[in-house]
Amino acid sequence: MPHVAPLWEGESWRRLVEPFCGGLAVALGLLPETALLNDINPHLINFYRRLRSGLVVEGMKFENREAAYYANRVRFNKLLLAGKGDTKDAAALFYYLNRTGYNGLCRFNQGGGFNVPFGTYARINYKYDFSEYADTFAGWEFTNTHFSKIPLRADDFVYADPPYDVEFRQYSKGGFAWEEQIATATWLSNHTGPVVLSNQATNRILKLYDGLGYDLIQLKAPRRISCTGDRTPAPEVLAIRNLKV
């Protein structure tokens, strides 16, 4: 946010578009009046849509116990198999699993089942009433589609934070291959409005972004998640187009 917010200043009249909205850190930090927030993870988008409707969890008790966690993981995956992944119960269970699972991971197997093991948190303050988010989310549209199908407007401000160019990319059922890193960068290089694209600063990412004409800002940021719990600084890059750096 300290790096993105100054780029948003003077552009806040625009619609914010996030092709990979993830945890909404940027949208909630910038608080645009209008936004199109997309993610390939349908369970995440179902949760956000339920928040926009003023989600209040009823009839469930969230517990930070291993047995309860695995029982609710089974319950969640049964809902998915039954085609009920867009329900209120599925949204509540997804929240619980994400808060209670190991290291905050969101991971699915090839069959689409949530497979994160139980976490190691000493204490979790669970939330049941999410109605406070309804007003903030009122002007935001949440979509679940491939990034290339997002209907961009010419003047949209796009912040794109795709799965980083690292080994762990099994955030959704299909994963995220190198070809999609290329497709994302190429797609956004043709956008006429402001673009901010973030990624881990691997050699091939820097070469890709530079070759497409992005202005690059390299920085170090703490890892917020990894399968090993490693939070040491990692080289990252902001690739920028149609903005004064």
Instruction: Give the whole-angstrom CA distance, residue 10 versus residue 13.
Output: 8
pLDDT at 226 over 70: no
The set of residues, in sequence order, having a beta carbon less than 8 Å from that of 92 and lying 6+ positions away, is 55, 57, 60
Q: What is the pLDDT of residues 35-55, one digit of tens each?
A: 999 999 999 999 999 999 999
Helix (H), strand (E) at residue 222: strand 215-222
**What mean pLDDT comes out for the span 85-91?**
98
Q: What is the pLDDT of residues 66-83, one digit of tens each?
A: 999 999 999 999 999 999
* Of 112, 115, 187, residue with least CA distance to 149: 187
**What mean pLDDT comes out for the span 14-34?**
97
Q: What is the pLDDT of residues 112-132, one digit of tens each?
A: 899 999 999 999 999 999 999
In this prediction, residue 175 carries a pLDDT of 63
Please provide the average confidence, as pLDDT, over all residues in the chain.
92
pLDDT at 166 over 90: no
Band the pLDDT of 202: cuts 50, 70, 90.
very high
pLDDT at 168 over 80: no
In this prediction, residue 152 carries a pLDDT of 97
